[in-house]
Amino acid sequence: MKIDLNADAGESFGNWKLGRDEELFPLLSSVNVACGFHAGDPLTMGRTLELAQKTGLAVGAHPGFPDLVGFGRREMAATPEEIYADVLYQVGALSAFLKVRGLALHHVKAHGALYNRATRDPETARAIAQAVRDFDPAVPLVVLPNTPLEQEAQRLGLRTVAEAFPERGYSRDGRLAPRGTPGAWIHEPEVAARRAVQMVVEGRVAAVDGGWVEVRAQTLCIHGDNPSAVEIARAVREALWAEGVSIETYA
Amino acid sequence: MKIDLNADAGESFGNWKLGRDEELFPLLSSVNVACGFHAGDPLTMGRTLELAQKTGLAVGAHPGFPDLVGFGRREMAATPEEIYADVLYQVGALSAFLKVRGLALHHVKAHGALYNRATRDPETARAIAQAVRDFDPAVPLVVLPNTPLEQEAQRLGLRTVAEAFPERGYSRDGRLAPRGTPGAWIHEPEVAARRAVQMVVEGRVAAVDGGWVEVRAQTLCIHGDNPSAVEIARAVREALWAEGVSIETYA
Amino acid sequence: MKIDLNADAGESFGNWKLGRDEELFPLLSSVNVACGFHAGDPLTMGRTLELAQKTGLAVGAHPGFPDLVGFGRREMAATPEEIYADVLYQVGALSAFLKVRGLALHHVKAHGALYNRATRDPETARAIAQAVRDFDPAVPLVVLPNTPLEQEAQRLGLRTVAEAFPERGYSRDGRLAPRGTPGAWIHEPEVAARRAVQMVVEGRVAAVDGGWVEVRAQTLCIHGDNPSAVEIARAVREALWAEGVSIETYA
Amino acid sequence: MKIDLNADAGESFGNWKLGRDEELFPLLSSVNVACGFHAGDPLTMGRTLELAQKTGLAVGAHPGFPDLVGFGRREMAATPEEIYADVLYQVGALSAFLKVRGLALHHVKAHGALYNRATRDPETARAIAQAVRDFDPAVPLVVLPNTPLEQEAQRLGLRTVAEAFPERGYSRDGRLAPRGTPGAWIHEPEVAARRAVQMVVEGRVAAVDGGWVEVRAQTLCIHGDNPSAVEIARAVREALWAEGVSIETYA
């Protein structure tokens, strides 16, 4: 049995450092690299890919809204045409850094408010998926299962990769518990690790509102900007290993 | 006999329009498309390529310094490593818009202060050329002949395309007359046209400081942000045609 | 009888020109000057104030969302704390250009999606109004009447200036007809002029869905980025003059 | 005897944190607050002033080149007119945050490449000084002594405050040792502290090329982005205190 373990990466910007990529990368199997709109800059992208290549990680693009000061976390009323062009631009920019290293684009995952909007809004989902498909129909899109993001991508014939979040609380109806509500975030590495095992081995996780919720996951996401990201990734990795699950990316 | 006729294009930004691309494109054989750092934005890039494709133009990338408010015309003390990454990023972004249209990247030409710095500074020239070569060694770089930009690109084994400027004055030593000096700019379409013919047919042009200067040209540049760009392009085209020179891009 | 006539101004950015400020200014009594977040840049702000001072116009700040490529027209999920700080920053920046000319800040008017959001969302309205009041409690805020923007500003003790739009259709319930619906925009200068007279002299205007709607106006807004802005402003001015209404700003 | 101790502050940007303002502020008497062009953003500016006010620090504006990704450390060929407007804009923006707290603008100090260029180029120096003088002729400008920055500011009638750098090596001719040369940076807090005492009490410091160099200082600068800034500031403060020098800002 195997599962992919991903994290956002390359989230520094110019003189500002963010994340512990050097420590985190050896614990992962894939990374989502910021492309300059919400984080990342050309120099940082090049250095992040150098590190990813050295570590042998699969590299995906992580396009976001054009909002550096808001880190791409503020929803913007961009049109589908704008979202399509913004995603294509960012995927292309990252692809150039991959190309010069002989690496292939492994996947695309939308960032922050763009991802969230796409889990609710079919037009946003379709614009993202269309950009990926037009760029390279063989590249899969990471999605939150059972949302318009998954549905629209599949409708366009794009491969999807279902993602789950061991650090995030889920409600019984399968949705992520809204930030700010009790149980929305898990901080203890052991708890996150136990949940990762539940998700991968049992296909379910304990819900914040009681009982269990089914979870479908081909990749688990660790939040790289979490100060304890490294400890959580290590605990998740070891707990999965102990259950006979290896951390390997999808083909 | 044939010659390429190029102009900068896609220099609008968001709500702000610049240039007369619709009128100018039918008169050209290639365009240099802004990539978002000094002008252009994802939506504009997509629309510019749509127009270029419809017109049958060869499309090159036009990377510049990251300075929107200064339109990439202010020299910046960027390091070679930064310039390499900035050029690679922009070339990659544009390439994505080409790829989704089934178009190939035809050439790269640096913009504004980046181009100018590269005609004087070998390190800048090398950083630009290295980025292009690493991205695709078959893509030629447009250069000002007899400058470090040409020399460094050739040293790296990159194909170069010599560029001349029918609208710009040249001094006897082969350099462009500095902006602001008498004769630095030609405004009359007929004069620009006559100079274009001299450049292409005779391989020389009248110098601002008297006599003639040798000019080597595989492409002639029309400044798209010049209000009379369309008239100049038309006059240049017709004058060349009258001499049996056809406007065709290089392979 | 008198009324203020305002327009957005200083909406160029770097090399990109927008609007016909030179022609429009002599027809107005006040302007709302872009402050660099959605349009405008320091050089443009200085030049716009020079022109406004020469023309004798009252100058207000026109803060918007930090979204140059979207021209501040895309709603952003900024927090009240962010909106407060963004407005304060922009008002302060413009005030420096006023100060060096011996001019006073005459009013503040939010731009685009920020204005629109504030007409629906009390938190947004309060953040804007609080920033203005903290900066200078004597400076009035331009508002759409009968909206949270007016209510929250007044609740904070801020003076408000009711604005009406002779170029925009109103529905019977007093709201602006949504863009894209029939009658949402008036293009003919004479029609806009007739509506301006109705608004100022009769306190009402013909509604897009039949009948009349009451309109309360201390200032009329002309959209400066409208290609026929100058013609509309002239027609409005002349029609009001013919009714004995002079174009003068509020104290 | 007394001396001012300053550091750059508020250099975070959005989600990216930089500097240890909370620990550093109690050791200083004044701060130079980033204004959004090379670092800082409206929210960060407000929070930085809150902290400065709580600590009782004098607050100055720290305008820089518009180059976030380069942190204002890359020289840009901005014109004097552009520099004037950029400085005025940034000083105005910061002043709004001061005004709402009842604080006065204590001084202005240019940042990074803008400061450096002004120590060599009289036109740059004049543009900065003119902007400060036009904004408020009573506000002093922090300068490197015996440079065009000091000379041009004084020629315009502006008060200047001479700055020295206990962490930086000086050559015998009074210039800062270029970055990258041996002795250009002092890393040990005790050495920096000893040099601070030499500068303030003896008016001189040991030169990197042997012997002593005269130093004139009304303020000492600690580099806030130095990882050991807090330790250096503490050592400097204690060493000066032991010599009977109190850390107090200038009026």
How confident is the model over A56-92, as pLDDT tens digits? 999 999 999 999 999 999 999 999 999 999 999 999 9
Give the pLDDT band (50/70/90) at residue D205. very high
Decide if D18 and A13 are in contact by the 8 Å CB cutoff. Answer: no
Pick the residue of B35, B82, B86, B100 with the most A CBs within 10 A to test the interface with A by mutation.
B100
- Average of per-residue pLDDT across D160-184: 92
Tell me: pLDDT of B20 over 90. yes
DSSP string, B232-248: HHHHHHHHHHHTT-EE-
Please compute the mean of the pLDDT values over residues A33-47 and round it to a whole number: 98
Q: Decide which of A8 and B179 is more confident.
A: A8
Question: How far apart (Å, rounded) are the C-alpha atoms in residues C33 and C63?
Answer: 8
Asked if pLDDT for residue D225 goes beyond 80, the answer is no
Residues of chain C with Cβ-Cβ distance to D36 below 8 Å are: 89
Flag whether residue C178 sits within 8 Å of chain B, measured between CB atoms: no
Q: Measuring CA to CA, which residue among C172, B41, C234 is closest to residue A36?
A: B41
Q: Which chains touch B (3 or more CB pairs under 8 A)?
A: A, C, D
| CA atoms A176, A180, A183, A188: torsion sign | positive
Digit-coded pLDDT (tens) for C14-32 = 999 999 999 999 999 999 9
What pLDDT, on a 0 to 100 scale, did the predictor assign at position B225? 76
pLDDT (tens digit per residue) in D116-132: 999 999 999 999 999 99
**What pLDDT shows up at residue C180?**
85
CA distance B51 to B171: 37
Size of interface C-D (CB pairs under 8 A): 74
Across chain B, mean pLDDT equals 96
Q: How far is C244 from chain B (nearest CA, A)?
A: 38
Give the list of residues 6+ apart from residue D191 with CB closer than 8 angstroms, or none: none
Q: What is the pLDDT of residue C226?
A: 80
Could you please report the per-residue DSSP string of chain D?
-EEEEEEEE---BTTB--S-HHHHGGG-SEEEEE-SSSS--HHHHHHHHHHHHHHT-EEEEE---S-TTTTT-S-B---HHHHHHHHHHHHHHHHHHHHTTTPPP-EE---HHHHHHHHH-HHHHHHHHHHHHHH-TTS-EEE-TTSHHHHHHHHTT--EEEEE-TTB-B-TTSPBPPTTSTTSB---HHHHHHHHHIIIIISEEE-TTSSEEE---SEEEE-TTSTTHHHHHHHHHHHHHHTT-EE----
pLDDT, one tens digit per residue, over C232-246 is 999 999 999 999 999
- Given a cut of 80, whether residue A225 has pLDDT beyond it is no
Q: Where are the domains of chain A?
A: 2-247
Closest to D69 (Cβ–Cβ): which among B66, B69, B70? B66
β-pair type (B141-143, B160-164): parallel
D87 and D63 in contact (C-beta within 8 Å)? Answer: yes
* Stronger pLDDT, D181 or C75, i.e. the higher one: C75
Which has the minimum average pLDDT: B56-65, B143-152, B240-249, C225-234?
Answer: C225-234
Supply the pLDDT for residue A180: 85
Q: Which residues contact A160 (CB under 8 A, 6 or more apart)?
A: A140, A141, A142, A143, A150, A153, A154
Q: Is B129 helix (H, G, I), strand (E, B) or coil?
A: helix
pLDDT of residue B227: 82
% of chain C at pLDDT higher than 90: 92
Alpha-carbon span A46 to D69, nearest angstrom: 15
All residues of chain C having their beta carbon less than 8 Å from the beta carbon of residue A89 are none
Q: Give residue D80's pLDDT.
A: 98
pLDDT score for D251: 87
Examine the pLDDT at C189 and tell me if it is beyond 90: yes
pLDDT score, position B238:
97
Question: Thinking of the domain A2-247, which architecture would CATH place it in?
Answer: Alpha-Beta Barrel (3.20)
The pLDDT of residue D224: 80
Is C99 in contact with D43 (Cβ distance < 8 A)? Answer: no
Instruction: Supply angle C-alpha A198, A202, A206, rounded to 5.
Output: 45
Average pLDDT of span B207-231:
92
Q: Check residue C15 and give its pLDDT.
A: 96
Count CB-CB contacts under 10 A for residue D179: 9
Please tell me which chains touch D, using 3 or more CB pairs under 8 Å as the contact test.
A, B, C
C14, C73, C225 ranked by CB distance to B69: nearest: C14
* Beta-bridge partner residues of B189: none
Q: What is the mean pLDDT of residues B215-223?
A: 96
Q: In Å, how far is B79's CA from the nearest CA of chain D?
A: 9
Residue of B nearest to D75 (CA): B77
Topology (CATH level 3) of domain B2-161+216-223: TIM Barrel (3.20.20)
pLDDT tens sequence across A160-211: 999 999 999 999 988 899 888 899 999 999 999 999 999 999 999 999 999 9
Q: Residue A63 has what pLDDT?
A: 98
Does residue A49 register a pLDDT over 90? yes
- C-beta atoms of C100 and D45 within 8 A: no
Distance CA A45, CA A47 (A): 5
Asked whether the predicted pLDDT for residue C11 surpasses 80, the reply is yes
For residue A214, give the H/E element and its range: strand A212-214
User: Of D230, D236, D250, D240, which is closest to residue D29 (Cα–Cα)?
Assistant: D250
Could C78 and A69 be called an inter-chain contact, meaning their C-beta atoms sit closer than 8 Å?
no
Q: Which chain A residues are closer than 8 Å to B85 by Cβ?
A: 41-43, 45-46, 97
pLDDT range class, residue D226, cuts 50, 70, 90: confident
Cβ-contact C51, C22 below 8 angstroms: yes
Residues 182-211 of C with CB under 8 A from B: none
C-alpha separations of B15 from B20, C39, C73, C167 in Å: 15, 9, 10, 20
- Angle subtended at Cα B24 by Cα B23 and Cα B26, rounded to the nearest 5 degrees: 85
Q: What gap in Å lies between CA B97 and CA D186, rounded to an integer?
A: 50
- State residue A166's pLDDT score: 96
Q: Averaged over D165-183, what is the pLDDT?
A: 91
- Which residue do the tokens 């060349």 mark? B240
Q: Predicted confidence band at A149 (pLDDT cuts at 50, 70, 90)?
A: very high
Q: What is the pLDDT of residues B39-49, one digit of tens each?
A: 999 999 999 99
- Which residues have CB under 8 Å from B227's CB, separation 6+? none
Residue with tokens 């019977």, as numbered in its chain: C172
